[in-house]
């Protein structure tokens, strides 16, 4: 039996029920014109997935979402069926929070009728997922028959975590198979997670493994439709990569939509089988880069209050990568870059900043800050006392830069991007109210080694050194005093931070792995001249303990920083929920 399915990965805007509804209706119209029997849309696409708690408890909002479903989307389903994510609720019942019971749900609509409401059964409560906090789980697992051609086919509808049932007692896929479903459809709001260096362990490959595993067990075709665009939880900007896929009953990939863009494509099944398509190409650096580009653009568009984007460039690698990402996201017409040199900035870095701006043909401004720093220092010492610490004067330079950039941000109503990377943010190697100011931390989830890797990718992407080669050769430095260089072996410190943050390792565990030479070779430089040659056991022990202490002592800074775009398995913000007070030293005593 022929079954034509339209996969529709759309980019909903959080809370914009009317706008999202129009987009859904247009998608349904397109699928019907293409002759599809069924169009499948993402999880909570009517409301957006990353919802403000104020909206989730707001009855007017909940009612509006149901009204749009019934009055606008359902009538659009004439001559076609659709699966649409929304919020179901029961005003007659109160949940554990004392509010009306809410369900993360999918509506199965067909030819002007509501055939079924499916409520998400498996509710995640990890990372930035708070389904268990806000929703009540569904219990029913019943197939629903939808018309196709001259007959009908029983299908099972899953909502995201329902597919990932390995650690749950309830197995929705298995129950659907037992009850006669012939196809499985999973609607999702599944965030992007990039692969680790040297591996294919990112989210797209994990999804593939989970889906193929379910097909092996149950022998049913499975269509997986994911949302695209960004949402947020207040401290993290969360990219959703789309990459919707379809597999036939043999586990063959028969459809794949692109990452990081809205797309709608059809797959035709004949008795659960379809024509295989090749696996999409994979480049770790490219997909992380594209995630960041999409995030900047989509965040800017969805906030809707800014006129342009601002970036401070120093001639260093971090701001160079940030400028390249911002350029691809916004174009040169909406991007301005600023160099703010003090007397400690070298001619080399200043020249590199100018060259970077010329290469991208950017609106470039040079604002010397030394006179301002001197004036503030003089006023401080006149009215208070001589500055006792050299770091006070160093941080003052960063804060003058932050002051100027925020003034420009205010005056132009522009979005200021910050340039701190994950390694620096972890170690507190950033100035609060200085280089940390801004509205979005674009590379705050990239280790320093990954900053270099993505910057190299930029030049490969362009086919020429848009990021000048001298920037790669310059020793990393804040340039806040004479002959200053960053006091870190970033090739080692970056992976150490990753292990402490993403894997939850302790210094003592890292020391054991070092002694056994079992540190991850994909992350750490382990070849000749690598970590085991650079450090003995005592030195590594001290380094791991020092990094851990810096990580814990700088939480108060991170919690005041700009929202960070998430591309790793664990990001600072509300993904990694840290406390400022923490006396545990991880085996240090």
Domain segments of the chain as ranges: 2-271, 283-486+554-589, 489-553
Among 93, 78, 90, 97, residue whose Cα is nearest residue 31: 78
Query: Which SS3 state, helix, strand or coil, does residue 132 take?
Result: helix
| Under 8 Å between Cβ of 137 and 122 | yes
For the stretch 33-49, what's the b/e string if a residue is b when 16 or more beta carbons lie within 10 angstroms of its beta carbon?
Answer: eeebbbbbbbbbbbbbb
Q: How far is CA 24 from CA 152, 393, 395, 410, in A?
A: 24, 55, 50, 36
Which residues 6+ apart lie within 8 Å of 286 measured at CB?
A: 457, 461
| Under 8 Å between Cβ of 441 and 565 | yes
**DSSP at 73:** I
pLDDT of residue 585: 72
Q: What is the CATH topology of the domain spanning 283-486+554-589?
A: Rossmann fold (3.40.50)
Q: Which CATH class is domain 2-271?
A: alpha beta
d(CA 57, CA 51): 10
Which helix (H) or strand (E) segment holds residue 364: the answer is strand 363-366
**DSSP at 572:** B
Among 68, 60, 149, 73, residue whose Cα is nearest residue 100: 60
Degrees to nearest 5, angle at CA 496 with 493 and 502: 135
pLDDT of residue 589: 42
CATH topology agreement for domains 2-271 and 283-486+554-589 = no
579, β-bridge pairs: none
pTM comes to 0.96
**Residue-wise pLDDT tens for the chain (589 aa)?**
899 999 999 999 999 999 999 999 999 999 999 999 999 999 999 999 999 999 999 999 999 999 999 999 999 999 999 999 999 999 999 988 889 999 999 999 999 999 999 999 999 998 889 899 999 999 999 999 999 988 999 999 999 999 999 999 999 999 999 999 999 999 999 999 999 998 899 999 999 999 999 999 999 999 999 999 999 999 999 999 999 999 999 999 999 999 999 999 999 999 999 999 999 999 999 999 999 999 999 999 999 999 999 999 999 999 999 999 999 999 999 999 999 999 999 999 999 999 999 999 999 999 999 999 999 999 999 999 999 999 999 999 999 999 999 999 999 999 999 999 999 999 999 999 999 999 999 999 999 999 999 999 999 999 999 999 999 999 999 999 998 999 999 999 999 999 999 989 999 999 999 999 999 998 999 999 999 999 999 999 999 999 999 999 999 999 999 999 999 999 999 999 999 998 887 665 4
Residue 177, CB-side half-sphere exposure with 13 Å CA sphere: 14
* Tokens (6 digits) for 490: 């970033």
């Amino acid at each position: 039996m022929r079954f034509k399915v339209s996969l529709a990965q759309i980019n909903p805007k959080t809370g914009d029920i009317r706008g999202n509804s129009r987009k859904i209706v247009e998608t349904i119209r397109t699928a019907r014109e293409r002759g599809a029997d069924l169009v499948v849309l993402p999880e909570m696409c009517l409301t957006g997935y990353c919802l403000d708690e104020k909206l989730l408890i707001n009855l007017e909002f909940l009612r509006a979402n149901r009204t749009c479903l019934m009055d606008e989307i359902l009538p659009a389903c004439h001559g076609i069926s659709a699966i649409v994510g929304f919020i179901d609720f029961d005003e007659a019942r109160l949940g554990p929070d004392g509010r009306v019971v809410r369900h993360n749900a999918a509506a199965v609509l067909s030819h002007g009728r509501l055939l079924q409401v499916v409520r998400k059964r498996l509710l995640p409560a990890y990372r930035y997922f708070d389904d268990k906090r806000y929703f009540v789980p569904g219990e029913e697992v019943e197939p629903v028959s939808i018309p196709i051609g001259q007959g009908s086919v029983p299908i099972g509808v899953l909502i995201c975590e329902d597919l990932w049932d390995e650690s749950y007692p309830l197995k929705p896929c298995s129950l659907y198979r037992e009850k006669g479903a012939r196809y499985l459809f999973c609607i999702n709001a599944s965030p992007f997670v990039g692969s680790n260096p040297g591996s294919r362990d990112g989210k797209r490959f994990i999804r593939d493994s989970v889906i193929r595993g379910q097909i092996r067990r149950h022998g049913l075709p499975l269509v997986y439709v994911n949302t695209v665009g960004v949402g947020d939880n207040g401290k993290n900007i969360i990219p959703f990569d789309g990459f919707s896929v379809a597999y036939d009953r043999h586990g063959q990939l028969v459809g794949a939509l692109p990452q990081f863009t809205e797309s709608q494509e059809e797959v035709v099944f004949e008795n659960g089988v379809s024509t295989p398509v090749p696996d999409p190409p994979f480049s770790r650096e490219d997909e992380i880069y594209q995630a960041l580009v999409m995030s900047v653009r989509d965040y800017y568009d969805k906030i809707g209050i800014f006129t342009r984007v601002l970036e401070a460039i120093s001639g260093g690698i971090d701001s160079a990568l940030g400028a390249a990402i911002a350029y691809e996201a916004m174009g040169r017409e909406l991007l301005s870059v600023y160099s703010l040199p003090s007397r400690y900035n070298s001619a080399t870095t200043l020249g590199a900043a100018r060259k970077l701006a010329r290469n991208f043909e950017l609106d470039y401004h040079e604002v010397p800050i030394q006179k301002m720093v001197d004036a503030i220092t003089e006023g401080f010492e006149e009215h208070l006392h001589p500055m006792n610490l050299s770091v006070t004067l160093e941080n003052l330079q960063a804060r003058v830069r932050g002051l100027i950039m925020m003034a420009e941000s205010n005056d132009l109503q522009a979005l200021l991007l910050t340039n701190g990377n994950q390694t620096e943010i972890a170690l507190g190697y950033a100035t609060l109210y200085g280089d940390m100011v801004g509205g979005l931390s674009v590379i705050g989830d990239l280790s320093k080694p990954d900053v270099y890797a993505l910057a190299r990718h930029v030049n490969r992407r362009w086919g020429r050194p848009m990021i000048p080669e001298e920037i790669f050769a310059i020793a990393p430095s804040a340039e806040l005093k004479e002959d200053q260089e960053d006091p870190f072996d970033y090739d080692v410190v970056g992976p150490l931070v990753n292990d402490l943050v993403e894997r939850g390792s302790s210094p003592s565990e890292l020391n054991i792995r070092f002694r056994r030479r079992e540190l991850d070779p994909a992350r750490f430089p382990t070849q000749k001249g690598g970590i085991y040659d650079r450090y003995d056991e005592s030195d590594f022990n001290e380094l791991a303990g020092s990094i851990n202490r810096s990580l814990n002592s700088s939480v108060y800074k991170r919690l005041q920083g700009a929202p960070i775009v998430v591309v790793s398995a664990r990001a600072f913000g509300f993904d990694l929920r840290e406390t400022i007070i923490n006396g545990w030293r991880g085996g240090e005593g």
